[in-house]
Each structure stands twice: as structure tokens, then as C-alpha cells.
Structure 1
Amino acid sequence: MTAFESLLAFQRQTEALSSIAERLGWDQETVMPRGATEQRAEEMAAIEGVLHERRTDPRISEWLDRAEARDEKEQRILELIGREHRRAARVPARLATELARQTSLSQGIWAEARANDAPDDFMPVLNDVLMLKREEAAALADGGDLYDALLEDYEPGATQAEIAALFDAMRPRLVALREDVLGADHQPQALSGHFAQETQLRLARTCATAFGYDWSRGRMDLAVHPFSSGRWQDSRITTRVVETDPFNCLYSTIHEVGHSSYELGIDDDYAFTPLGRGVSMGVHESQSRIYENQIGRGRALTSWLYQRMNDAFGGLSIADADAFYGTVNKVTPGFIRTEADEVQYNLHIMLRFDLERQLISGRLDTEDLVEAWNARFLNDFGVAVDRPANGVLQDVHWAVGLFGYFPTYALGNVYAGCLNAAMRGDLPDLDASLTKGAADPAVEWLRENVQRHGGLYAPRQLIELAIGGEVSEEPLLNYLETKFGEIYRL
């Protein structure tokens, strides 16, 4: 075999093992017995040890030196393997395996602490994770910025300085819109009633099907914190149920379908290569957020959903589809990021972005995190956090070491704003299909312009190719001001 063929064969096995590790994570968050936490931590550490050994194998450097790319695709494969190899080589095997073990343990402790509103039970183990992440960041940064080194895992090429500047540009218009909306004379009605779990889950499956989810290559389960997992021929989604709030379940499902559809939509030829994954979490979030918001919370799709919910639950407290559109998009001061409306969602991300930068830099310690969170939340949202599960314990990300992940949610919203504007320009009759519960035209547009490419292009390059222009926060902010200005009659 040529050097390129040898490298690709080796990488294929690494990708397969990585997929197995991901499946272990899915199992832990869905169906694993609660008493198996310590065993799973050892299993995760063992497989991470094998993966780290493969990613740092000295033969990779030799193959990369001798490999010759015949086209753009092969050149990108070499680039991505080289990047992963160099990053892995900077992290000691001991640290990689200990991180896998500790974050697996931490996840279970976080879930218990969240259920019991007991941050003191979680903060010591979070501190252990934080110390390991600081060590990893120092190894990866090689003298550079620690947070940027971690951010590179989720949004290659982005820096915290760029993201901070983006957030500074977005915040004034978001805050002004929120003040106008909350102070408006017209306020949409809230949904009330009891909504049985099994009925919610049946309707969630209906929504997933409407968005083209491939049930032959996926499944839906319950999790404390909804997520998607897998790639190629097996990409699964999870959701959660609150029997007084069906939107929690339905829109979590649609959101995760966006993630999963991205993975399932990648060109089959890219399977078991670095091209066979979503290129960044920002791009990933662009898919989940545009499915959930610009499509899922739009007037056309909600008119279809109104009738489905009316039928499923034997009537609703909302009079008609037009009022229901306002209800779905009602802006309410709330604690939970995943339940936040479009106006306030990015403000939740900005809070987490600033706090985790302070944690990584050492300017904030875990023993002071609860107080820092509560003070910042009160300042940003004007509401005092009522209990830890609605505050610092609500997200799983820090428990599993995902420092640097949070800003990609807001970046994904910016990408989604750009994609929505371009898609609407190409599909002027899209709403006619969405009113019938057929999201196919939008799904196909996104698959053709974004999803099928996998990791072929750098994140920002991919979005700019899809929209035929430069990425900007303007389309998102304009969309929000227009949409909520109409709903609230501003």
C-alpha cells in the first residue's frame, strides 16, 4: 500500500474505536445501571488509553511525511489527521486516561447532585476535572492562551478574543429587544395543562419524522440532559419530559434531530475518515438551532404543530394557531438555558463563556462558582436563582470536561441566522410545505449546502460557501427583531 493508504487504514480503526467510546457514553447517559459508574469510568479510561496510543503512534508522522494527496479531499484528510496527531502528542497518556476516568465519574456525581440540589456534593469533583483541564490546556497551548487551546477542540480556528468581540456586538441589541418585549402591552398566553409522558413521546417521534429523521439508523431515548450521539449508520437522539411543559420535550427532540441529521447526512464515502464527522460544534449547533428555531418555531411549522397537539392532548388552552405561534415563542425570564427563548438564549451562553474563561485562567475557583454564577445571573437577567438545579448545576458540560464548548452554541445561532437568510432566498415557497408538516425542502437544502460536506472545509469556510458571502451576526439579530417585533406588536 502507499503511505496514504496505510495511514487511511490505520485511521479507519481509530475512528471505529472512537465510535465505540461514544456509544459507551450514550449508554451511560441513557440505560446504564446507576451502580455501574465506577466500572464505566475504568472502561472509558481503558479505551481512551488505546485511542491516545493510536493517535500518538510515531508511524503517523512517517506516513504523513510520505503521503501524497491526489485531490482536495485527500489533502484535507492529511491536514485533519496531522492536526489531531500533533494535539494528541502534546498530552501525556496518563493525563488523557485520567481525564476520561474522572469525567465519567463526574457525570454520575453531577446527575445525583442536580437531582438533590446539592452543589457541595459536586464541587470537589468538578475541581478535580478543572485541574486536569487546566493541565491539558497548558500542554496543548505550548505557551499560548489556555482557553484558546481548549476552544480549538470545538471550533477550530476561533479565538476567545474574536468570540468576545462578537458577543460585545450582539449584547446591546439583544438586551434592548428583551426590554422592549418584556415591557410590551401585548403578551402571548402561556400554555397550561397536564401533558402525559407517553403522549409527548409519541408526538416527539412525529416531529422527528417530519424533519426527516432516519429511524432505520437512529433511535430516541430519555436522558437527564438531551444530547445526540453517533455517526455514519448509527446516530441516536435523546429527549426529556416535563409533564407541565410539552415544548421542553418537543423542541429538545427537534434540536437533537438537527445534530443527528447532520451526522447522517454526511457523504457516505467519508465514513471512518476525519471527513466523516461534523466539522465543528458551531456548525453542528447551526443545524440543531435552525431546525429548532427558524424552522421549528416559525409560524408555518407551528400552525401544523398546533393541530397535532390539539389532537394528541384532546384540546389546548390556546385558542388558535396564531395565538399558539405567540405561545411557542413567548419570552419569559427563566433559569434554564435549554428552555430559553431565542431572545435570551445567547445571553445565557455569554454568562457561561465568561465564567468558564475565569475558571480556566485561575481567576475563579470552584469553591466560589455558585456565588459567582448567582451574582452574574441576577445582574444579567434580573432574577435571583432559586435553587442550584436551576443555576450552576443545570448543565452537564463542565462535569464532563467540555470547557470551550459553550460559545459554540451562540456561534451556531449566528451561523443559523446566515443560513436561514440564504435558504429563504433559495426557497421562497418553503412555508407552504412547512404548514403541512413537511420540512423536506429545508432539510434537503441544508444537507446539500452544509451537511454532506462533513469535515471537508474549515467551519467558517463551509458556512460562507453555503451562503455565498461573509458570516455576520446581522442576519440573526435582524431576524430576531423582526420576528419578535411582530409577535409582541412593537
Structure 2
Amino acid sequence: MAAYEDLMAFERETQALAQVAGRLGWDQETMMPRDAGPQRGEEMAAMEGVLHARRTDPRVADWLEAAEPVGEVEAAQLHHIKRSYTRASKVPAKLAAQIARVTSEAQGTWAAAREVDDFATFAPVLREVVALKREEGAALSAGGDVYDAMLDDYEPGATAAELAAMFDALRPGLVALRSAVLDAPAPPELQGEFDEGAQMKLSRQIAKVFGYDMAMGRVDKAVHPFSSGSGLDVRITTRTSQSDPFNCIFSTIHEVGHAAYEQGIDRRYLLTPLGGGVSMGVHESQSRIYENQIGRSRAFTGWLYGQMRDAFGDFGIADEDTFYACVNRVQNGYIRTEADEVQYNLHVLLRFDLERALIARDLEVEDLEGAWNERFEADFGVAVDRASNGVLQDVHWSVGLFGYFPTYSLGNVYAGCLNEAMRAAVPDLDSALAEGNTAPATDWLRENVQRHGGLYAPRDLIGQANGATPSEAPLLRYLDKKFRGIYGI
């Protein structure tokens, strides 16, 4: 066991340093002084240089060769370390540091361009990011599919062709349901102004209701909500809009789903490869099931209605049933993170297709805004009015997260599978949710998904929890039943 123990001690230090690098990213989005971007880019590049050197240290190969797993956990640890070592060894250290530097600076450029709705000021640095990521993808793919190599960072074992087939199976049902819903009379829309301080107070309360441990976390504001960290330090952000408290509330619940996953992992795996979520698809399954199947359910929104009235007084919605319909109102909109459940995946599919074209060189950065606007109008029947509602709305491409977007829809598929299994296992769940008690749901998810961390492969994990091979069918059944019920169609 000596080789294994030496390897794991080295790995824990690497994981700890990676957490420090992550904290730099959290600070950049929440508290960093506005003009500190260039220096932060150098800091991030330096950290990436250290991490890359550790991940490609020749001793890792020696330890891997000598180590012999004695059980399931040890075998899984070695699998993840070998995978990381193999991938990192394919990427030159200079390229890894350059990507870290450029993406750190690009994030600030994106935020500034988004604020003034000017894609042209962001395009040059995005062009540099895309070129660097293409180079990295080529190194990782070693002659194979470059986009698949990028996707493997976020959903190990998945391929673009497999996901495209799944999404092609999703699309007709989503389009048909959207058409039927939009032809029906719409529920009332939330009106008025809602104090942003009160929104944050309510969001922190709801985070605790969903089991987020504030002794090991915090809630802050950012341009784009996100979750950061693992183990004993998992932080989330949300955002507020005076006219739309749902944005804040459900962004918070979404990010709590991510954070609860990290906080729920078996403590024995802390600062090891098993100590984080196994994939972004599984991560998204947690955030989406928290936000939608639990947070937007009739039972939970009945409780939330009372909390909203306590926080904001009479806000013009007459009763719990009307509030439930209001929360789940389907309407065309520009912003993915604010999209209703029926249309959300159509936003993701647009991004999936565009970024695949970018990486394949079928689309260049200078043509991206036009391609986005054309595709959006074709898919949603609405012309994009400004860049912050279009190509500049998401942070992902600025920080080089190519291959990330499809995991959002894959997470929805996984959430659909988990929801069916959870409802079967906890038949009286709605009675608890109606009292603001999410524990029966979150405990089931912790036991069947979260505590395992990276122990099992993504699809194996969901398959074990669901009792069947993951497919899009449960998600389509859930959406169809829910929204045909709300709209009386």
C-alpha cells in the first residue's frame, strides 16, 4: 500500500491547491477590485502552472504503476488520478498557463462588454480563447474528435453524437408542448417592485430550507450565479432584479443544488478525486431537480407563497394555485437562466450546436453574433434586441468552458429519471414539501446520488438510483403532465 498512500498524500495536496485556485475565481466574480483583472490573470496562470506540474509529475506515473487497489474506493481513486494524469500530460504546460491567463482576463472583458451590449469589444479576446481551446482540444483528442475531447472534461464517457441523438429525441416533444401551451390562456405574470435586500434575506432562508449548511458556505451576489468549492467550503452566488424576485429565489435554489451535492459527499473522500461531483451532468441533475421538480412543485410553491407574502406583503397574486401557475408561467424570453422548464433545453441546444461549429471551424467568432441571432429567431420566433440578451448573456465561453453547455440538458434528463425514482420511493413527499420541509427529497438524493461523489461513472450512478438506463422519456413525461395540467390542455 506504500505507493498508493504516497500517491494519495500527493493528490490531497494537489486537490488543496486546486481549491485555492477556485477561491481566486470566486473572489474575481464577487469581491475583486474592478481593475485587478490583469494581475489576477497572472495569479491564475501561476497557479495553473503549479497545478499542471503536479498533475504531470513523473512520480504520479510511477505510483500508479506500483499501486494495487484493495477495494472499490481505491480502484475508483486510481481511475480518476490516471485519467487526470493522462489528460494533463497531453497538454503542454505553457499552453495550460496561457489558457488560464487569457480566460481570466477574458472574463472581465466579457462582463464589461455585456454591460454596454457590445460584442465587438469582446470578440478579439474570445477569438484568442477559441484558438487556445482548439489547440488544447487537438492535443487531448490525439487525432480523434476535438469536441468530444472537450466534452470529456465535463461528462466523462459521453460523446457529442450520443448527446445529439438524445437531444434530437427531446426536441419534438418540447416543441409540441411549447406550441400547445403558448396557444392556451397564460397565467398571470408577477407585477410590482420587490426590495432587493428582502430578496437576499429570503434567498438565504430558502437555502437553509434546502439543507445548505451556512457554517460551510455563504451566499453572495454575482453577474452570473454560480457555485464554487467542495467539502467544507462551498460557496454560492445569486443575483437580484427589483422587478423579478423569482430570478433570485430560483437561482439560489439551483445553486444550492450544486452546493448540497458537494456538501453531501462522504467526508472520507475530502480532498481526493472522489471528493467532488462526478460530472457536470450529474451536478446539473441536482441543481435542476432542486430548482424545478422540488422548488417549482405545486406543494412547495404553496409554502413559498406564504413566505413571499411575509417578505413582500400583498403582491397581487390571489392564492396558492394562481401562484403555482405564475411561478411556472411559460413565455418567450431571451435569457437561458430565466427560461421556463418547457423552453430551457431549446436554449441549451442552440448553444450546443453553435459551439460545436466554432470548435470544428465551421463558424468563426466574427460571425458568431449573427449566427446566434439568426438561430434564436428561428427557434423562438423573437428577434434578439441586444447583445446582453443574446450572445453575451452567458459567461461560459469567456472562460473557455466549451463542452459544458450540453451537460445542462443532460442534467435535466438525469433529473427526470431521479424524480420518477424519488417519487416512487417517497410517496408522501408532497405533504412534507407543503410545509416547507424538503428533507425527504434532499435526504433521498444525498443517499442515492450525492454521498457517492466520484465513486461511480455518471450514467452508472444515475442508473443505480433510477433502476433503469437513463433516457429522456421520464423528463418528457414529467413536463407533459405538469404543464398540460397547469394550462388545462
Fold-level match, TM-score > 0.5? yes
- Tell me the residue number matched to 1:140: 140
- Tell me the residue number matched to 1:21: 21
- Tell me the residue number matched to 1:330: 329
- Tell me the residue number matched to 1:308: 307
Superposed CA offset, 1:101-150 (max 9, x none): 00000000000000110111101100000000000000000000000000
- Tell me the residue number matched to 2:120: 120
Superposed CA offset, 1:174-205 (max 9, x none): 00000000001x31000000001101001101
- What aligned pairs does 1:49-198 form with structure 2 within 5 A after superposition? 49-184=49-184, 186-198=185-197
- Tell me the residue number matched to 2:390: 391
CA shift for structure 1 position 206: 1.4
Measure the CA separation in 2 of the matches of 1:137 and 1:31.
32
Measure the CA separation in 1 of the matches of 2:471 and 2:355.
25
Measure the CA separation in 2 of the matches of 1:311 and 1:221.
22
Measure the CA separation in 2 of the matches of 1:300 and 1:343.
20
Superposed CA offset, 1:284-341 (max 9, x none): 0000000000000000000000011011101111110000000000000000000000
SS at match of 2:436: coil
Measure the CA separation in 2 of the matches of 1:280 and 1:448.
17
CA shift for structure 1 position 375: 0.1
CA shift for structure 1 position 463: 0.4
Q: Report the TM-score, using the length of structure 1 for normalisation.
A: 0.99
SS at match of 1:203: helix
Equivalent position amino acid for 1:67 in 2: A
- What aligned pairs does 1:292-441 form with structure 2 within 5 A after superposition? 292-441=291-440
Measure the CA separation in 1 of the matches of 2:248 and 2:271.
32
1:5 corresponds to 2:12: no
Measure the CA separation in 1 of the matches of 2:466 and 2:164.
24
CA shift for structure 1 position 32: 0.3
CA shift for structure 1 position 469: 1.3
SS at match of 1:236: strand
SS at match of 2:236: strand
List structure 1 segments (4+ residues) > 3 angstroms apart after TM superposition. Answer: none
- Tell me the residue number matched to 1:484: 483
SS at match of 2:399: coil
Measure the CA separation in 2 of the matches of 1:344 and 1:82.
39
- Tell me the residue number matched to 2:289: 290
Measure the CA separation in 1 of the matches of 2:77 and 2:42.
32
State the identity %: 64
CA shift for structure 1 position 222: 0.3
- Tell me the residue number matched to 1:447: 446
CA shift for structure 1 position 470: 1.2
Measure the CA separation in 2 of the matches of 1:174 and 1:292.
19
Superposed CA offset, 1:190-230 (max 9, x none): 00000011010011011111101101000000000000000
- Tell me the residue number matched to 1:203: 202
Measure the CA separation in 2 of the matches of 1:212 and 1:87.
35
Q: Report the TM-score, using the length of structure 2 for normalisation.
A: 1.00
Measure the CA separation in 2 of the matches of 1:317 and 1:26.
37
Superposed CA offset, 1:45-80 (max 9, x none): 000000000000001111111001110100111111
- Tell me the residue number matched to 1:46: 46
Measure the CA separation in 1 of the matches of 2:176 and 2:205.
37
- Tell me the residue number matched to 2:31: 31
SS at match of 2:397: coil
SS at match of 2:235: strand
Equivalent position amino acid for 1:437 in 2: G
Measure the CA separation in 2 of the matches of 1:319 and 1:6.
63
- Tell me the residue number matched to 2:224: 225
Measure the CA separation in 2 of the matches of 1:223 and 1:465.
36
Superposed CA offset, 1:359-398 (max 9, x none): 0000000000000000000000000000000000000000
SS at match of 1:229: strand
Measure the CA separation in 2 of the matches of 1:61 and 1:72.
20
CA shift for structure 1 position 4: 0.4
Measure the CA separation in 2 of the matches of 1:369 and 1:470.
36
Measure the CA separation in 2 of the matches of 1:210 and 1:8.
36
CA shift for structure 1 position 405: 0.1
SS at match of 1:286: helix
Unaligned runs of 5+ in 2: none
SS at match of 2:394: coil
CA shift for structure 1 position 424: 0.2
Equivalent position amino acid for 2:55 in 1: R
Superposed CA offset, 1:426-448 (max 9, x none): 00000001001110110000000
State the superposition RMSD in angstroms.
Answer: 0.5
Superposed CA offset, 1:21-66 (max 9, x none): 0000000000000110001000000000000000000011111110
Measure the CA separation in 1 of the matches of 2:105 and 2:471.
40
- What aligned pairs does 1:241-256 form with structure 2 within 5 A after superposition? 241-256=240-255
Measure the CA separation in 2 of the matches of 1:282 and 1:472.
13
Equivalent position amino acid for 1:45 in 2: A
Measure the CA separation in 1 of the matches of 2:76 and 2:442.
26
Measure the CA separation in 2 of the matches of 1:463 and 1:304.
29
